Structure 1
Amino acid sequence: MSEIEIGRNKRGRRGYSFDDVAVVPSRRTRDPEDVSTEWQVDAYHFDIPIFAAPMDSVVSPATAIALGKAGGLGVLDLEGLWTRHEDPTAQLERITTASEEDVVEVLREAYAAPIRPELITQRIREVRDAGVTVAGSLSPQRTQEHWKTVVDAGVDLFVIRGTTVSAEHVSSDREPLNLKRFIYELDVPVIVGGCATYTAALHLMRTGAAGVLVGFGGGASHTTRETLGISVPLATAVADVAAARRDYMDESGGRYVHVIADGGLGKSGDLVKAIACGADGLMVGAALARAEEAPGRGFHWGSEAHHQTLPRGHRVEVGTAAPLEQILFGPGLAADGTTNLIGALRHAMATTGYLDLKEFQRVEVVTSA
């Protein structure tokens, strides 16, 4: 891989975002109706490769159920408003109506309430009782405190999600989470991330994770690049982690770890290009925050926005586009990539001649950068 000289003392690789790449049509086309968007994580089958990001502006128990019935997966933020407040309606109202000057303080106040284990149990069981696959997310810092409550409540997929998650976290003042031991001892599949490099992903795969989340510093509501100076363009990140998946399969004798693009997937074209770069699944935030059913009511924010000492995100207005069903399956309302996400993915796969998602990862891409 060639490097670019930034200055006499520093060289760096050129990275590409999804805006920098495009999918190339092939000699064969197909009917969109013949295309399959199905995939599977461990024993759990999904009709569409959409995971709703664990963000309070996107996922409530009700929207997790709705997405599950639509063939995807809603991931509950088990450190969010729904596990801190019996009824978070008032907090959601305050957040969505706060002025730009006051919103950080309003967010901090809303999330200052302690996480209540009984509410973790209640929210997970509410989704489970609806008959759909249940997924919940904790940060690495909270996992040791709450994992048993989560597993006992009946979660199907356990997500450990942070801005960046390392298999080799070092701390001088506390015992860090031993991911490999934790995943080995857990009875449910674990998806872990984010990461954005080949080496970090390979180490996470060696912990026994069922899937790896790719991305940090991206996404509509994150300001990690501005506050920490950390970011990796996602087309490059996904392609690098997909290479780690390939090499880990050889190393492990055939064990397949799913690569899930996480962040920067605001339009249908971004979803298409993420899979073209090697993603198996898609962790979607802003695109689903535009649904009429979304708890954010046209606004979008993540856990980074209410950090008590160093906010690395903000509340953004994404607007309300359509009901969730229409955002996923159409019909599209405008030619802007915000509605009929799955229809767009199907058309892209059909236009390039591929029948399923795994095949589509082989499609040719070009860069305009």
Structure 2
Amino acid sequence: MTYEIEIGRFKRAAQAYSLDDVAIVPDRRTRDPHDVSVAWQIDAYQFETPILGAPMDSVMSPGTAIALGKLGGLGVLNLEGLWTRYADPTQVLGEIAALESANGGHFDPVITARLQEIYAAPIQPELITARLAEIRESGVTVAGSLTPQRLQEHYKTVLAAGVDVFVIRGTTVSAEHVSKNHKPLNLKAFIYELDVPVIVGGAAGYTPALHLMRTGAAGVLVGFGGGASGTTRRALGIHAPMASAISNVAAARRDYLDESGGRYVHVIADGGLGTSGDIVKAIAMGADAVMLGTALARATEAPGAGWHWGMEAAHENNPRGDRVRVGTVAPLEQLLFGPSHHTNGTSNLIGALRRSMATTGYSDLKEFQRVDVVVSPYEAD
């Protein structure tokens, strides 16, 4: 059932909720947190935690992807980023971290212009091969990401390099892209030809998510390219409150399960998950796993050195992101598993998830999706 509100006489709209607008309610037995499982599996690949590292240069390098993999998560390398444009990107990463804002705020056209210059360097296919080989040699699951715009140009290189999980990630991804200027990408035909599981998104509604599931995707990313560094809402007027978006896509998963005769497509929340409480509520709303940007950019090992930005910040024509200061909280292992010295949900992310599940009496992630939630809009102190 959908309730709409009237916005003047011409428009009606559904009420949507952000993760800040909902809260979990304990209403059954409790458990010992040590008895709770946060394991997650997609296709043949099993993980000890439901954490994916976002394919953003401030978050994932080959080294941090390996480290996250060894800690039970899945690091996704951005195959259009600095690591595939520069043989040694440490210098430009250091320059990005050292850029000073003339106005003291997030938005600075001088910084944006420099990011655009840095990302104008061409993608080198041999570096795609080398970076994925480095991750593979460590023994962890190999995952790489391309945008739909670059997919047909580079996917053969990615597959030849031996990727295990292929991620197609954009601000908004649809099953059918219509264009009068070039041959459109047919996602269903493309995914059908691949021998590896594909995660695709973002999608923020029931219908687009259902269409993506019908392409054969193993997982759907829920989001619109938002998060701490994104300005899509200001630049394009597009925004999808995450609690409602996750719930709608989870409903598409349920209906597609019936439609397909039992094929389960994983729902992965992607965007606006800056604290452990956000992660907990994303799974409570129906997510199977979460893709983290800001939360992992705070790790000591993160390539951004306390700064965070996405590919949208360097778009050559219509940048929709800023370089933002997120700070450094703790080494990656401590950030995920503690011990924590922070009271704001920025470290011991998995420990907090375990405790929330234990407090509400659930023993695994699928069970926890049934937890009761209430609408409780957050009011800042």
Aligned length in residues: 369
Partner of 1:52: 53
Residue by residue over 1:164-210, the C-alpha shift from the partner in whole angstroms, topping out at 9 and shown as x without a partner, is 00001100010111100000000111000000000000000000000
Counterparts of residues 87-236 of structure 1 (less than 5 Å): 87-100=88-101, 101=108, 102-236=110-244
Q: Distance in 1 between matches of 2:55 and 2:111?
A: 20
Q: Distance in 2 between matches of 1:103 and 1:132?
A: 35
* 2:262 is equivalent to residue 239 of structure 1: no
Q: The residue matched to 2:253 in structure 1 has which SS?
A: helix
* 2:36 is equivalent to residue 30 of structure 1: no
Partner residue of 2:275 out of 258, 264, 267: 267
Q: The residue matched to 1:94 in structure 2 has which SS?
A: helix
* 2:307 is equivalent to residue 299 of structure 1: yes
**Which ranges in structure 2 are unaligned for 5 or more consecutive residues?**
102-107
Q: Distance in 2 between matches of 1:189 and 1:328?
A: 26
Residue by residue over 1:144-183, the C-alpha shift from the partner in whole angstroms, topping out at 9 and shown as x without a partner, is 0000000000100000000000001100010111100000
Q: CA RMSD in A?
A: 0.6
Q: Distance in 1 between matches of 2:63 and 2:292?
A: 17
Partner of 2:15: 14
Counterparts of residues 345-360 of structure 1 (less than 5 Å): 345-360=353-368
Q: Which 10-residue stretch deviates more, 269-278 or 104-113?
A: 104-113
Q: Is the 8 A contact 1:94 1:106 kept in 2?
A: no
Q: Is the 8 A contact 1:35 1:356 kept in 2?
A: yes
Q: The residue matched to 1:169 in structure 2 has which SS?
A: coil
* 2:259 is equivalent to residue 251 of structure 1: yes
Q: The residue matched to 1:294 in structure 2 has which SS?
A: coil
Partner of 1:63: 64
Q: The residue matched to 2:6 in structure 1 has which SS?
A: strand
Residue by residue over 1:106-136, the C-alpha shift from the partner in whole angstroms, topping out at 9 and shown as x without a partner, is 2111111100000000000000000000000
Q: Distance in 1 between matches of 2:10 and 2:165?
A: 45
Partner residue of 1:343 out of 333, 351, 354: 351
Q: Distance in 1 between matches of 2:77 and 2:46?
A: 18
After TM superposition, the score normalised by the length of structure 2 is: 0.96
Q: Distance in 1 between matches of 2:244 and 2:32?
A: 30
Cα deviation for residue 244 of structure 1 reads 0.1
Q: CA 1:137–1:256 in 2, change beyond 3 Å: closer, same or farther?
A: same
Q: The residue matched to 1:236 in structure 2 has which SS?
A: helix
Q: Is the 8 A contact 1:217 1:225 kept in 2?
A: no
